[in-house]
Copies of this chain bind each other. A is one copy, B any other.
Amino acid sequence: MNHYMKKSIQQYQAENKNKARLLIKCPDQPGIVAAVSDFLYRHDANIITSDQYTLDPDGGQFFMRVEFYCPQLLEKAEVLEEAFQSIGEKFAMEWQLLYVSQLKNMAIFVSNEPHCLMELLWEYQSGDLMAHIALVISNHETARETVESLGIPFYYIPANKDIRKQVEEKQLQLLNEHQVDVIVLARYMQILTSDFVKNYEHQIINIHHSFLPAFVGAKPYERAYKRGVKMIGATSHYVTNDLDEGPIIEQDIGRVDHRDNSAKMKKIGQAIERVVLSRAVKWHLEDRIIVHENKTIVF
């Protein structure tokens, strides 16, 4: 990590040391917001932003994200969490209290095409992607120089479907060593096993180079060209055991026309992939996403 970046992260942590986020998911019933806001008020916290959503017809599920400011937050963290316990129980909540200054540890997986990795590193250097990039793992050597020049450990682990088990063992060991919270598949062209995925439920973010559910699977640009579509897209989603079927976080598209062959589509698509993945990763880092069944609520 270079000096500029270190300063930026330290500055960010200092500025946000009294900020936290509360994520809530529970059956809907009267009084939830009153209970939460009263709790915050009694603990001298001031709400910065608050979003909520009730999923009506399908059973009255309630979702909430509150970002608040609380003097001496980190000193009071334990007290807050303990005190919130009873509210959580009363309303049968799944809840998380997340401290803005505690950055997530991120691993990036990449194969041969570096554009998505490059975008993330760029955002990281600009101070716009607030995480600790703990390591980059690749089945190609392509990105080593760029990654290491930023002081980020780079691990080359050759991979193919015949040695998947050994590869994933090595990867999991590295992820454990680096205490990784979130894995970004920045165009990593290997399929992960369900054994691997279950360790990081809703913590693995993939970018698929099509507008899902169109062109699930391999070679989407070639297939988009063959079908003669007039727009191509990209989709960022959490990884589940079903290929390209996990909860969608973000999508975007770009125009193509008859002059664009699949190589040109790929170029146009790469610019979309960069933007879509970058948005999805930032929303995850900002604790904006709640997964419910196979969908995301993005606050």
Contact = CB atoms under 8 A, between A and B. Distances in A.
A31 interface: yes
A22 interface: no
A170 interface: no
Interface in A247-299: 247-253, 257-259, 261, 267, 271, 275, 294-298
A251 B267 contact: no
B250 A227 contact: no
Given A38-B38, A50-B33, A248 B230 contact: yes
A81 interface: no
B228 A247 contact: yes
Interface core residue of A37, A228, A257, A258 (most chain B CB under 10 Å): A228
**Main SS class of interface, A:** mixed
A16 interface: no
A166 interface: no
A245 B231 CA distance: 16
A197 interface: no
A201 interface: no
Interface in A187-207: none
Interface stretch (A72-80, A154-162, A211-219): A211-219
Contact of A52 (B44, B50, B56, B214): B50
Interface residues of A, number: 57
A176 interface: no
A253 B250 contact: no
A228 B34 contact: no
A98 B240 CA distance: 44
A275 B268 CA distance: 12
Contacts of A213: 214-215, 227, 229
B47 A52 contact: yes
Contacts of A37: 33-34, 37-38
Nearest to A257: B298
A121 to B, nearest CB: 11
Given A115-B126, A227-B294, 18 more contacts: A30-B45, A30-B46, A33-B40, A34-B37, A34-B40, A37-B37, A37-B38, A38-B38, A50-B50, A57-B261, A211-B214, A213-B215, A228-B294, A230-B248, A230-B249, A231-B252, A258-B295, A258-B298
9 contacts: A34-B38, A49-B52, A50-B52, A213-B227, A227-B248, A231-B233, A231-B253, A258-B298, A271-B275
The 4 closest A-B pairs by CB, nearest first: A228-B295, A214-B214, A34-B37, A34-B41
